[in-house]
């Protein structure tokens, strides 16, 4: 059913937006692009559909397409770098317009990345990278919605940054079967103990890398359903929620993580 919904998105080329070159309208979102990068806009539309489908497979009970549609996602694709959209930055803004949730994503056109551009672990910023980037950014909308609509309980941005950035990055790796890319993150954490410190509590200096490694550990050690239950938890704080859902103490979690890390 989810796949049918995604494949039935209506595609239309609309009138150009002032100052922009092209507008691609789908039932769940709209893309506007600067002049001269129509091929980039079409690529982003295709990869956005793939991202929404990937998130639907990861969280089948949450009706991801409907969530994206309810936010009226606007994706702006830029031909030249800006502060919000460049080779190292994509920016998602969520808010409220006239009582309705809204989201805007700013991206640099893939064809405008500098030749040889690489990720923070040395991988090329190619089509696979762009697909993971879109999953990462769009997942924010889903997690914000799921935690925000609970009658009570912790909200997404009240969680520590390692969880916020980590789950977004990990779900992108997980749903694109990017095991080798994830392993590069895990290797970095294992080689540099300053990234994830468990000597006294849990401190993470690089939320993207350390957070993704921690989420990989939680998935393997406790199971993917536990992560979903954690997001749905009515506990008032993230700390209380993770203790209850994983049935673990802070020291126990740290010890299990270090054991897992050494084995990886």
- Rounded mean pLDDT, 83-111: 95
- Rounded mean pLDDT, 233-250: 97
Strand-pairing partners, residue 93, are 104
- Please report the pLDDT score of residue 18 as a whole number: 41
Q: Is 135 exposed, middle or buried (0-12, 13-18, 19+ CB in 10 A)?
A: buried
pLDDT tens column, 34-55: 999 999 999 999 999 999 999 9
pLDDT tens column, 180-221: 999 999 999 999 999 999 999 999 999 999 999 999 999 999
Within 8 A by CB and 6+ apart from 50, the residues are 131, 134
- Please report the pLDDT score of residue 258 as a whole number: 97
Least confident range of 19-33, 115-129, 193-207, 210-224: 19-33
pLDDT tens column, 60-86: 999 999 999 999 999 999 999 999 999
Does 249 score more than 80 pLDDT?
Answer: yes
Place of tokens 């080329």: 13
Phi, psi of 243, deg, nearest 5: -65, -45
Separation of first and last alpha carbons in the chain: 37
Could you tell me the pLDDT band of residue 27, with boundaries at 50, 70 and 90?
A: confident
Strand-pairing partners, residue 203, are 197
- Please report the pLDDT score of residue 20 as a whole number: 61
DSSP annotation of 55: H
DSSP annotation of 19: T
Nearest to 44 by CA among 100, 109, 99, 92: 109
CA 1 distance to own-chain centroid: 23
Q: What global pTM score does this model have?
A: 0.90
Does 6 score more than 90 pLDDT?
Answer: no
Please state, in angstroms and rounded to a whole number, the distance separating the CA atoms of residues 126 and 110. Answer: 8
Q: What is the mean pLDDT of the chain?
A: 92
Does 11 score more than 80 pLDDT?
Answer: no
- Please report the pLDDT score of residue 126 as a whole number: 97
Alpha helix ranges (H) inside the chain: 2-7, 38-58, 64-71, 127-148, 161-175, 179-191, 207-222, 224-232, 238-246, 250-263
- Please report the pLDDT score of residue 43 as a whole number: 97
- Joined together, the tokens standing for residue 22 give 């092209």
The full set of domain ranges for the chain reads: 2-148, 159-263
Does 168 score more than 70 pLDDT?
Answer: yes
Half-sphere exposure (CA, 13 Å, Cβ side) for 160? 19
pLDDT tens column, 223-235: 999 999 999 999 9
DSSP annotation of 88: T
Share of the chain above pLDDT 90, in %: 88
């Amino acid at each position: 059913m989810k796949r049918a919904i995604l494949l039935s998105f209506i595609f239309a080329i609309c009138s150009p937006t002032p100052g922009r070159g092209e507008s691609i309208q789908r039932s769940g979102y709209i893309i506007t692009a600067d002049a001269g990068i129509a091929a980039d806009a079409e690529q982003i539309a295709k990869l956005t559909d793939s991202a929404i489908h990937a998130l639907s497979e990861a969280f089948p009970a949450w009706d991801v397409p409907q969530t994206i549609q309810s936010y009226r996602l606007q994706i702006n694709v830029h031909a030249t770098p800006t502060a919000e959209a460049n080779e190292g930055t994509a920016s998602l803004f969520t808010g409220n317009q006239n009582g309705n949730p809204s989201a805007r994503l700013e991206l640099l056109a893939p064809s405008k990345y500098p030749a040889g551009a690489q990720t923070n672990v040395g991988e090329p910023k190619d089509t696979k990278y762009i697909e993971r980037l879109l999953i990462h950014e769009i997942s924010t909308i889903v997690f914000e919605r799921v935690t925000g609509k609970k009658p009570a309980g912790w909200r997404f941005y009240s969680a520590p940054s390692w969880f916020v950035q980590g789950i977004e990055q990990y779900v992108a790796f997980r749903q694109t079967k990017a095991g080798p890319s994830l392993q590069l993150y895990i290797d970095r954490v294992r080689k540099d103990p300053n990234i994830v410190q468990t000597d006294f509590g849990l401190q993470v200096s690089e939320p993207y890398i350390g957070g993704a490694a921690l989420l990989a550990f939680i998935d393997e050690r406790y199971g993917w359903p536990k992560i979903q239950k954690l997001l749905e938890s009515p506990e008032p704080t993230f700390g209380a929620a993770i203790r209850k859902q994983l049935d673990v103490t802070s020291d126990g979690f740290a010890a299990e993580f270090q054991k897992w890390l050494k084995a990886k």
